[in-house]
């Protein structure tokens, strides 16, 4: 088997994959930049961590609702066009935030409404990217491609919060949102340069003319018949729920307990991003390795320990160290989970199955944010982070003992449409 470094070199020679990765990175950078600006703007306008949780929670609720529909659309209509429409439309919505604020027309309910619309569109990219990525690479390159794609999120977490915090402190949250709007239009332009046939894949070419047969029920049946997929989805749902309180509690911790500003908040998120990049680099150098149950459960235990320890953080430096360690240990989770899902699901069902699993997994985020925002405003910021960490570690211990996620790599290789996935790619590599 070629080394990870050799595989990455081959992937980087794949022009279509390189363009797709670059577009995803720019879009995720804009998302992270806006997340910091919106959190600080909401805190300034409402003086409430619960309002932050409500805003971000509604965005994610809408994403949860729309994910199955997004998966259905990706299995039926032109995937490239759907991705471009998503980026352009979300860029427009984010641009409305500063424009309405500067004309004194923006209220908290209207802000929630705009973010809800953005949340409805977001699954076109989240579900869509997961569905189309296997079409860009060979089957033996899939884990490396997912690890490489995780760098999009990790680089965005590294750079976005720091830049977002600095811009918010310099030009204010509305001005930062205007920059973010531009960062969503740029990927749309970049995606137009990739041939449409790359997004569709050979399975879609064989199914051409049978779009009327695409049904939600096919994806649901496949999901329910796969215990490994069900167990993986439940684990991710609970992990997201335990992560959720960090989003509203951390800004409030920075302002109320550490007596700092948005620049410090951005640095804390960037410390997490540095940790994930280092963790991914270390993970990809090891031979493969442990059963998914042990990897995923161990990640959750470590995340719970390090984020729960923010209870004792007395200054920004200790907070950055803890978030760096949390990022260091959490980085393998999405690489392992996404690769396992892609190997378990045949190509022609990926949109519908991933839409369903994404919807179920993401339920945990808005619930965790809403519960976390409420706990932070009643129980306290530090206490909320400690409680969330304990819950996450306990769930991780249970996942490590899951019988359905043991031997998952071998099950995944058998479960996917290996012949279709391994067919040589010509014309765009």
pLDDT digit string, tens, across residues 70-103: 888 888 878 888 999 999 999 999 899 889 988 8
Which structure tokens are listed for 407? 């031997």
pLDDT of residue 323: 95
Q: How far apart are CA 158 and CA 282, in angstroms?
A: 17
What whole-number distance in Å separates Cα of residue 238 and Cα of residue 258?
Answer: 29
The pLDDT, as a whole number, for residue 210 is 46
Positions in the chain short of pLDDT 70? 1-10, 157, 201-214, 285-289, 407-429
pLDDT score of 80: 87
pLDDT of residue 61: 81
Q: What pLDDT, on the 0 to 100 scale, is given for residue 387?
A: 94
The whole-number pLDDT of residue 5 equals: 59
pLDDT of residue 321: 95
Residue from 154, 128, 122 nearest 333 by CA: 154
Contact between residue 127 and residue 355 where contact means Cβ atoms under 8 Å apart: yes
Inter-CA distances, 309 with 101, 203, 242, 332, Å: 38, 48, 14, 21
pLDDT for the residue 318: 93
CA distances from 358 to 149, 216, 240 (A): 17, 14, 11
pLDDT at 174: 83
- CA-CA distance, 429 to 423, in Å (whole number)? 13
Count how many residues are written for the chain.
429
Residue 407 confidence (pLDDT): 59
Q: Which domains does the chain have, with CATH numbers?
A: 16-193+216-418 (1.20.1250.20)
Query: Is residue 421 a contact partner of residue 139, using CB atoms and an 8 Å limit?
Result: yes
According to the model, what pLDDT value does residue 199 have?
Answer: 81
d(CA 218, CA 68): 12
């Amino acid at each position: 088997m070629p080394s990870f470094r050799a595989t990455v070199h081959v992937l980087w020679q794949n022009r279509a994959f390189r363009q797709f990765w670059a577009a995803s990175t720019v879009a995720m950078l804009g998302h992270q930049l806006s997340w910091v600006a919106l959190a600080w703007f909401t805190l300034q306008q409402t003086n409430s961590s619960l309002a932050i949780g409500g805003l971000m929670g509604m965005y994610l609720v809408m994403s949860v609702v729309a994910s199955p529909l997004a998966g259905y659309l990706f299995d039926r209509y032109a995937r490239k066009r759907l991705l471009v429409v998503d980026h352009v439309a979300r860029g427009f919505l984010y641009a409305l935030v500063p424009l309405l604020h500067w004309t004194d027309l923006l209220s908290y309910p209207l802000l929630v409404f705009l973010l809800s619309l953005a949340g409805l569109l977001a699954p076109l990219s989240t579900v869509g990217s997961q569905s189309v990525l296997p079409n860009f690479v060979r089957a033996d390159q899939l884990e490396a491609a997912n690890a490489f794609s995780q760098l999009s999120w990790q680089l965005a977490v590294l750079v976005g919060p720091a830049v977002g915090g600095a811009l918010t402190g310099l030009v204010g949250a509305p001005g930062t949102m205007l920059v973010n709007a531009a960062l969503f239009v740029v990927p749309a332009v970049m995606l137009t340069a990739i041939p449409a046939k790359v997004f569709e894949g050979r399975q879609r070419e064989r199914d051409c003319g049978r779009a009327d047969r695409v049904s939600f029920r096919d994806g649901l049946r496949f999901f329910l018949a796969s215990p490994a997929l069900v167990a993986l989805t439940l684990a991710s749902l609970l992990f997201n729920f335990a992560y959720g309180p960090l989003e509203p509690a951390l800004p409030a911790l920075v302002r109320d307990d550490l007596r700092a500003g948005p620049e410090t908040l951005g640095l804390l998120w960037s410390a997490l991003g540095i940790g994930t990049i280092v963790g991914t680099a270390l993970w990809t150098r090891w031979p493969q390795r442990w059963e998914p149950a042990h990897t995923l459960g161990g990640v959750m235990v470590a995340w719970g320990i390090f984020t729960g320890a923010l209870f004792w953080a007395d200054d920004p430096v200790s907070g950055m160290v803890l978030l760096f360690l949390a990022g260091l240990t959490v980085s393998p989770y999405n690489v392992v989970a996404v690769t396992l899902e892609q190997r378990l699901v045949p190509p022609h069902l990926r949109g519908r199955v991933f839409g369903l699993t994404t919807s179920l997994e993401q339920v945990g985020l808005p619930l965790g944010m809403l519960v976390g925002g409420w706990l932070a405003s009643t129980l306290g910021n530090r206490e909320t982070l400690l409680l969330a960490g304990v819950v996450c570690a306990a769930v991780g211990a249970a996942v490590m003992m899951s019988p359905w996620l043991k031997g998952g790599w071998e099950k995944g290789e058998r479960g996917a449409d290996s012949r279709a996935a391994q067919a040589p790619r010509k014309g765009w590599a």
